[in-house]
């Protein structure tokens, strides 16, 4: 049921709260709940805590976030609302975060990526549904209900923080300057000044997904070699085409790469090592891994440093 970039939800004002509809229910798909490997890896108690937290987040603003009066809800408050002791709550919450089930924003807000995604989709459908008025009163009435959220799976970035990343398209001229307001800019394309798509073969968009297996990128960029070292990949071992496409779509920020590099090159005891074991899985779960890395860094209480040697996730 988990589901880090969509438009940022604006801060809720008292006027917004008055207008906000109090929906009695939210979409829940038992099949998605049962098939979520990360969720099912948690204990029954942790899964029970998560559904309780989702019910609370359903009543909060922004939707899907555990907040009170527009501020992150304290862990002690959540523990009281779920009827748990603080020690038990802390243990189960840590289990959920380590498994990547729930996400934690930089300001400490716990939120459900899936609920944020569904709410964003619902809002778009409501907006589009208003145009149904041209088909008569019923067209507008039914269109404004928002319809059924898509059943596709995936991760979305949270409304907190408010960073935006550029879309998947060829990079502009290297002479283009970065705005001083960009606090967390993307890495220089591929780390060598070339565009994000420069490592992909011509016409890659027309290659069917089921025919991309076995195909490779044209070359490994310095950024790709850097990430590959986390998994002891030789620099001359070209990435799979699907991996290159995934990295180009992510266009990771400098701070994200630095954080994950420290996390993936650190020595972590096997009983607490939840890192992905291969590159493809990391790219597919990038937002969730960032959440884990932030929690790890907070527990460590240290600063980001460059590790002299590679210590990839334990096998």
Cα(98)–Cα(205) distance, rounded to whole angstroms? 35
Cα(279)–Cα(234) distance, rounded to whole angstroms? 13
Strand 71-72 vs strand 67-68: parallel, antiparallel, or unpaired?
Answer: antiparallel
| Structure tokens that stand for 255 in this block | 């701070």
* Res 37: pLDDT: 85
Q: At what angle do helices 222-229 and 254-264 cross, to 10 degrees?
A: 30
Closest CA to 224 of 273, 271, 270, 188: 188
Give yes or no: residues 211 and 130 share one domain. Answer: no
Cα(230)–Cα(226) distance, rounded to whole angstroms? 7
Give yes or no: residues 133 and 193 share one domain. Answer: no
| Residue 8: exposure state from Cβ atoms within 10 A (0-12, 13-18, ≥19) | middle
* Res 282: pLDDT: 93
Q: Does 6 fall in a domain?
A: no
Give yes or no: residues 129 and 61 share one domain. Answer: yes
CA 196 to chain centre: 20
Q: Of 127, 143, 159, at which residue does a domain stop?
A: 143
Cα(168)–Cα(288) distance, rounded to whole angstroms? 20
Tell me the average pLDDT across 247-261: 89
Give yes or no: residues 136 and 199 share one domain. Answer: no
Closest CA to 199 of 222, 221, 180: 221
Give yes or no: residues 131 and 19 share one domain. Answer: yes
Segment 74-116, tens digit of pLDDT: 999 999 998 989 899 999 999 899 888 888 888 889 999 888 8
Cα(169)–Cα(158) distance, rounded to whole angstroms? 22
Q: Global pTM?
A: 0.43
Give yes or no: residues 202 and 276 share one domain. Answer: yes
| Structure tokens that stand for 304 in this block | 């980001």
Q: Does 150 fall in a domain?
A: no
Cα(314)–Cα(254) distance, rounded to whole angstroms? 25
Give yes or no: residues 133 and 234 share one domain. Answer: no
Residue 134 pLDDT exceeds 60? no
Cα(159)–Cα(5) distance, rounded to whole angstroms? 8
Give yes or no for a contact between 252 and 259, defined as CB atoms under 8 angstroms apart. Answer: no
Q: Does 238 fall in a domain?
A: yes
Give yes or no: residues 27 and 128 share one domain. Answer: yes
Whether omega before 124 lies within 30 degrees of 0, making that bond cis, reads no
Contact partners, residue 100, CB within 8 Å, separation at least 6: 2, 38, 274, 285, 288, 289, 291, 292
Contact partners, residue 210, CB within 8 Å, separation at least 6: none
What phi and psi, each to the nearest 5 degrees, are found at residue 72? -55, 135
* Res 194: pLDDT: 66
Residue 294 pLDDT exceeds 70? yes
Provide the CATH number for the domain around residue 35: 1.10.10.10
Give yes or no: residues 121 and 217 share one domain. Answer: no
Give yes or no for a contact between 101 and 2, defined as CB atoms under 8 angstroms apart. Answer: yes
Q: Does 138 fall in a domain?
A: yes
Closest CA to 25 of 110, 122, 130: 122
Q: Which domain holds residue 268?
A: 189-300
Q: Does 260 fall in a domain?
A: yes
Q: Does 205 fall in a domain?
A: yes
Query: Per the structure, how many domains does the chain have?
Result: 2
Q: Does 258 fall in a domain?
A: yes
Segment 44-82, tens digit of pLDDT: 999 999 999 999 999 888 888 999 988 999 999 999 998
Segment 219-241, tens digit of pLDDT: 988 899 999 999 999 988 999 99
| Structure tokens that stand for 245 in this block | 């496409």
Q: Does 164 fall in a domain?
A: no
């Amino acid at each position: 049921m988990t589901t880090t970039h969509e438009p940022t939800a604006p801060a809720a004002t008292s006027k917004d709260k008055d207008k906000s509809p109090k929906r009695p229910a939210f979409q829940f798909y038992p099949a998605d709940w049962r098939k979520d490997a990360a969720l099912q890896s948690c204990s029954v108690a942790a899964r029970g805590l998560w559904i309780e937290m989702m019910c609370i987040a359903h009543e909060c603003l922004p939707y899907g976030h555990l907040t009170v009066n527009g501020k992150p809800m304290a862990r002690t408050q959540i523990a009281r609302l779920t009827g748990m002791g603080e020690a038990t709550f802390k243990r189960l919450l840590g289990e959920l975060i380590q498994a990547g089930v729930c996400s934690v924003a930089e300001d400490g807000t716990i939120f459900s990526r899936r609920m944020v995604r569904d709410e964003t989709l619902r809002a778009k459908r409501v907006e589009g549904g208003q145009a149904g008025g041209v088909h008569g009163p019923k067209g507008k009435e039914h269109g404004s209900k928002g319809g059924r959220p898509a059943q596709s799976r995936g991760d979305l970035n949270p409304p907190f923080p408010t960073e935006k990343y550029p879309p998947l398209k060829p990079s502009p001229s290297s002479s283009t300057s970065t705005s001083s307001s960009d606090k967390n800019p993307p890495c220089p394309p591929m780390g060598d000044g070339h565009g994000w798509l420069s490592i992909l073969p011509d016409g890659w968009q027309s290659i069917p997904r089921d025919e991309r297996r076995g195909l490779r990128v044209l070359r490994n960029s310095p950024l790709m070699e850097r990430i590959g070292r986390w998994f002891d990949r030789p620099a001359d071992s070209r990435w799979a085409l699907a991996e290159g496409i995934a990295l180009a779509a992510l266009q990771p920020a400098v701070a994200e790469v630095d954080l994950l590099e420290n996390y993936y090159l650190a020595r972590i005891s096997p009983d607490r090592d939840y890192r992905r074991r291969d590159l493809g899985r990391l790219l597919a779960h990038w937002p969730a891994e960032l959440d884990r890395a932030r929690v790890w860094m907070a527990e460590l209480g240290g600063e980001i440093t460059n590790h002299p040697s590679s210590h990839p996730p334990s096998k």
